[in-house]
Amino acid sequence: MNDNSFTLGTGAGGPATVSIDNQHCTGEIHLHGATVTAWQPKGEQPVLWLSGSSAFDGDSPIRGGVPICLPWFGPGRDGDRQPAHGWARLSEWEFVGADDVEAGTCATFVLQRDGLELRYQVTMGERLEIALDVTNIGQEAVEIEEALHTYLAVGDISRVSLSGLEGVDYVDKTAGGTVVTQDGDITFDGETDRVYLTSANVTVSDPAGGRKLLVQSQGARNTVVWNPGPAKAAAMPDFGDDEWTQMVCVEAANALDNFYRLQPGGTHSIAQKVSVV
């Protein structure tokens, strides 16, 4: 394993990206939002999906990869929070450094904002491992929602199925928040936007892409599954009209009633692992 497995890319305002190229994989993380934008095991197709229309304007969230949603999810539990999904994915994070570890290359990013200290470790090797520690460095307890909003690349969403969440209840955001019990594998026929009320290991079967992906989470009490479908994709300027067939989001989250309260000095950790199986 070489000891120069990462390089810093600069943008107009200084360091902008960390690119990783080691014996196992290549990948990239933008300091904007500490957004993982690429991870590709050697000999494999890219595992993360990234829109060809993402703005990369330094202000907007990056469309694809793994945006970090925090300290709220969507519009928040009361539906009145802006910006959508909170400020973590919009903030400029500090790159602390990268180390070669057994599992590959581990890059660390930190951000302090609004009484919270976030420490994010991205390990790229034969697996992608992302781990976020949230510490309350303020004087008051805080309520946190969060998600590692992972966009996975698939060959054809109409042929994709997800297993692992059979029998789990979910909030169906396409049906006004109705709670439904998952019957069998998850398949996709148009817009799908579900917050499963427990987390589980999910296997993504992608016959058109000729592979299966395993998504494992820790410290998450929800799994979010999302595909915008054609109408929502066409309505998003940073999402190509036809790109919705090439992606599915499987997110590790603590959202809605699964928010958590963090006392001063307390730390909560959430993590997700993605591998080609």
Told to check if 149 binds ligand TA6 by CB under 6 A, we report yes
* C-beta closer to ligand TA6: residue 125 or 229: 229
| Residue 179 · residue 172 · CB < 8 Å | yes
* C-beta closer to ligand TA6: residue 85 or 119: 85
Which of 158, 165, 149, 214 has the alpha carbon at shortest distance from 187? 158
CA diameter of the chain: 51
Question: Residue 216: beta bridge partners?
Answer: 273
**What's the CA gap between 221 and 224, in Å, rounded?**
10
From 84, 110, 208, 234, residue interacting with ligand TA6 (rule: CB under 6 A): 84
User: Around 139, how many Cα atoms within 13 Å sit in the side-chain half-sphere?
Assistant: 0
Determine which one of 24, 145, 149, 243 is catalytic. Answer: 149
Told to check if 85 binds ligand TA6 by CB under 6 A, we report yes
Told to check if 249 binds ligand TA6 by CB under 6 A, we report yes
Told to check if 28 binds ligand TA6 by CB under 6 A, we report no
* C-beta closer to ligand TA6: residue 106 or 162: 162
Told to check if 119 binds ligand TA6 by CB under 6 A, we report no
Provide the minimum distance between the beta carbon of 173 and ligand TA6 in the complex, in angstroms, as a whole number: 6
| 251: annotated active-site residue | yes
Which of 214, 221, 239 has the alpha carbon at shortest distance from 229? 239
From 193, 206, 243, 274, residue interacting with ligand TA6 (rule: CB under 6 A): 193
Site string for ligand TA6, 209-238 (x = CB under 6 A): ---------------x-x------------
3-class state of residue 231 by DSSP: helix
CA distances from 190 to 25, 206, 229, 248 (A): 33, 17, 5, 12
| 30: annotated active-site residue | no
**What's the CA gap between 257 and 248, in Å, rounded?**
24
Told to check if 36 binds ligand TA6 by CB under 6 A, we report no
Residues within the interface to ligand TA6 (CB under 6 A): 61, 74, 84-85, 149, 173, 193, 224, 226, 249, 251
